[in-house]
Amino acid sequence: MPKKRIEKVGGHDVLEELSIGMDRVKTNIPGLDKLLMGGLVRGRNILLSGPCGSGKTTLAMQFIFNGVMDCDEPGLYVTLEERKDKIISDMANFGFDLKRAEKTGKFYLLGGPVAGISSYMRNVDANIAHILREIEEIVKEHNIKRVVIDSLNLLMLLVKDQEERRRTIAAFCNVLSQLGCTAFFVSETKEGTMDISRFGVEEFIMDGVIVLYLVNQGSSFIPGIAVRKMRGSDHDKKIRVYNITSNGVVVYPDEIMLSEKDSLL
């Protein structure tokens, strides 16, 4: 465990990590922890971006599911994209039994299709603060340690202005960090681009960025994964190969996706 010290800076309490060895949160996703030098840094927020079908939901759910089943860490998955029953059935396809996870009392699946959010939109008084407050309450009540927001793009439908978007994303990150949660924010990127976020601000706010690429080579798409940034930690800097298998996402940490002279970064 890292040593921690509370300091007063400008009237605010600042939690400073003085650790030599960081407190790591193991994803237990095959191969990924090796790219992360042992795991994610506890309490940090990570942007997980990639094009459609690249495995963002699968990878993010593995992080939560493994936390609940292997590490005794309660997890919250907020899906704004898919119906709950659909995500439960899709994940069963990979062997992630979310109903069994729910029975442990440590797994919480919140949301549903965009309908959940649009009901907020229809409510004149509604604003994004309501959603954040609801998440905050669940985290506190159930001692949640791992959170996924799938997806940040849909959440941002509620926010029209770029400056407001930046503030909102920062607010989500700060609240979850202060509650000690390690969080993935899922972000869809445009097909065939090397963009790492939708609005171009997300990657600067988050502590870490993991990008999934699908690179067109001949008649197929080659999946690549890169840890683009991880504040406070060293990490692998290359684009590695990954695959979506019948057991979920598997990363091949020793296989480089492209030859050294090619670069996507």
Ligand X SMILES: Nc1ncnc2c1ncn2[C@@H]1O[C@H](COP(=O)(O)OP(=O)(O)OP(=O)(O)O)[C@@H](O)[C@H]1O
Chain residues that interact with ligand X, rule: CB under 6 A: 50, 52-58, 93, 188, 244-246
Partner from Mg ion, ligand X, none contacting 104, C-beta within 5 to 8 A by type: none
Pick the closer one to ligand X by CB: 22 or 239. Answer: 239
Where in 8-67 is the site for Mg ion (CB under 5 A)? Answer: 56-57
Partner from Mg ion, ligand X, none contacting 42, C-beta within 5 to 8 A by type: none
Partner from Mg ion, ligand X, none contacting 145, C-beta within 5 to 8 A by type: none
Of the candidates 107, 117, 103, the one whose C-alpha atom is nearest the C-alpha of residue 138 is: 107
Pick the closer one to ligand X by CB: 71 or 244. Answer: 244
Residue 128 CB, nearest approach to Mg ion (Å): 21
Pick the closer one to ligand X by CB: 4 or 86. Answer: 86
Partner from ligand X, Mg ion, none contacting 233, C-beta within 5 to 8 A by type: none
Q: Is 126 buried (19+), middle (13-18) or exposed (0-12) by CB count in 10 A?
A: middle
Residue 90 CB, nearest approach to ligand X (Å): 7
Residue 185 CB, nearest approach to ligand X (Å): 13
Residue 94 CB, nearest approach to ligand X (Å): 6
Pick the closer one to ligand X by CB: 45 or 62. Answer: 62
Residue 90 CB, nearest approach to Mg ion (Å): 9
Pairwise CA distance, residues 17 & 180, whole Å: 13
Residue 116 CB, nearest approach to Mg ion (Å): 15
Q: How many residues bind Mg ion (CB under 5 A)?
A: 2
Pick the closer one to Mg ion by CB: 151 or 233. Answer: 151
* Residue ranges in contact with Mg ion by CB under 5 A: 56-57
